[in-house]
Amino acid sequence: NAGVTQTPKFRILKIGQSMTLQCTQDMNHNYMYWYRQDPGMGLKLIYYSVGAGITDKGEVPNGYNVSRSTTEDFPLRLELAAPSQTSVYFCASSYFSLSSYNSPLHFGNGTRLTVT
Amino acid sequence: ELKVEQNPLFLSMQEGKNYTIYCNYSTTSDRLYWYRQDPGKSLESLFVLLSNGAVKQEGRLMASLDTKARLSTLHITAAVHDLSATYFCAVGLSGAGSYQLTFGKGTKLSVIP
């Protein structure tokens, strides 16, 4: 199994450009998440999904959009990129809700995004 | 708002020494996770602690949880270079119809030969 796969690994955007960060998982997990990690900081939740067709905002959703048309895929779209969105983005998944017994997150390898 | 504080944020230690990383959190929670992140890599789950007094060990790492003190510790025994990484604690909390994790800032551990 590949687990959680993110593409691209690196990307440089100019201010105002748009892009989509791809995330796919092959573990048949219901729950998927997007986090961003700024230098020297913990991860902050951008959006999450509890199943196909259902998404919800996390702690820092402004400037981002998501969709969940299939169980496997959870793309994150940046519209009108800004320097404040320079960060490392991690997609993660879990089979059960995080409130269930022993349901840790499985993370992808991250996308390093720079907006200049 | 749940706040999670780790200390120290940076730790340089010699091989063979013992040390402890602390994770304090501000609101009652029912679980706490420890993750490891190698430079440029993703996060890997180490432990999940579910109850007061819970202790889990894997190799040279031992994690414990004191829910009354809202404190978790990650103890490193006889450190080796391979343990060099950033360690994050994450605390779970229900709210607004969902269950979320709040991460600490991480402790960057460097083990010097």
Q: pLDDT for B6-65, tens place per residue?
A: 999 999 999 999 999 999 999 988 889 999 999 888 899 999 998 888 899 999 999 999
The answer for residues whose C-beta is within 8 angstroms of residue B69's C-beta and 6 or more apart is none
How many C-alpha atoms does B93 have within 13 Å on its Cβ side? Answer: 17
Residue A22 has pLDDT above 80, yes or no: yes
Q: Which residues of A touch B4 (CB under 8 A)?
A: 42
Rounded to the nearest 5°, which phi and psi values hold at A83? -55, -30
Nearest by CB to B99, from A43, A97, A106: name it. Answer: A97
Indicate the range of A50-54, A58-62, A98-102, B16-20 predicted with least confidence: A98-102
Instruction: State how far the Cα of B28 lies from the Cα of A75, in Å rounded to an integer.
Output: 33
Alpha helices in chain A (DSSP H): none
Put simply, whether B99 touches A (Cβ < 8 Å) is yes
- Are B87 and B34 in contact by the 8 Å Cβ rule? The answer is yes
Q: What is the pLDDT of residue B40?
A: 85
Among all chains, which residue has been given the structure tokens 């092959």?
A: A26
How would residue A96 be classed by pLDDT, with cut points 50, 70 and 90? Answer: confident
